[in-house]
């Protein structure tokens, strides 16, 4: 008789724990699966003068909630299809108060020049993939688009529209 009462108590405690966790009591470890669209405005500065076989940038990232303000650094390989067109492909990392996010990007460029062959602008268009993060962003994953313009191939203003889960 005693053992069946103890067994019932153990079973009831187990069911109560499952009910509490299922009702959100274990939300600290729950995976966030909702999709959120986030827009980031970037002001990046080239750290490798172009034209070159590689490129790198660093600068401010101002994103919508919950990412907010941070910085981005990236590095890439340059593939030219002509002297004025081509693409950059490589990794990026964005750093925020709540942690970082990282991934890869491919962005094509078209450079315009004047009669004296001075750069008058560079237009950018591409895609990116967010493959992870750190701290509170460790479960972030997603994809995005990139568009932007640079008047001089040094300072570039880009807009990233990200579709993310895990934020």
**Which whole-number Å values give the CA distances from 29 to 8, 52, 143, 155, in the listed order?**
28, 45, 24, 41
What is the chain's pLDDT, residue by residue, as a tens digit (167 residues)? Answer: 555 555 455 444 444 444 444 455 444 555 557 999 999 999 999 999 988 999 999 999 999 999 999 999 999 999 999 999 999 999 999 999 999 999 999 999 999 999 999 999 999 999 999 999 999 999 999 999 999 999 999 999 999 999 999 99
Domain identity same for 151 and 70 = yes
Domain encompassing residue 21: 1-30
Domain identity same for 20 and 74 = no
Helix, strand, or coil (residue 16)? helix
Domain identity same for 56 and 18 = no
Domain identity same for 143 and 127 = yes
**Into how many domains does the chain fold?**
2
Domain identity same for 26 and 86 = no
Domain identity same for 45 and 98 = yes
pTM over 0.85: no
């Amino acid at each position: 008789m005693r053992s069946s009462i103890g067994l019932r108590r153990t079973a009831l405690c187990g069911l109560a724990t499952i009910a509490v966790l299922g009702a959100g009591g274990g939300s600290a470890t729950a995976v966030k699966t909702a999709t959120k669209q986030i827009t980031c405005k970037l002001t990046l500065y080239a750290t490798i003068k172009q034209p070159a076989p590689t490129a790198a940038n660093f600068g401010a990232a101002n994103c919508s909630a919950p990412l907010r303000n941070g910085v981005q650094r990236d590095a890439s390989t340059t593939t030219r299809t002509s002297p004025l067109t081509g693409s950059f492909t490589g990794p990026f990392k964005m750093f925020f108060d709540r942690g970082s996010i990282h991934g890869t990007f491919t962005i094509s460029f078209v450079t315009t020049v004047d009669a004296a062959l001075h750069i008058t602008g560079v237009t950018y268009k591409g895609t990116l993939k967010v493959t992870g993060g750190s701290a509170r962003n460790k479960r972030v994953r997603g994809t995005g688009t990139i568009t932007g313009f640079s008047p001089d191939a040094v300072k570039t203003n880009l807009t990233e529209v990200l579709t993310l889960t895990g934020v």
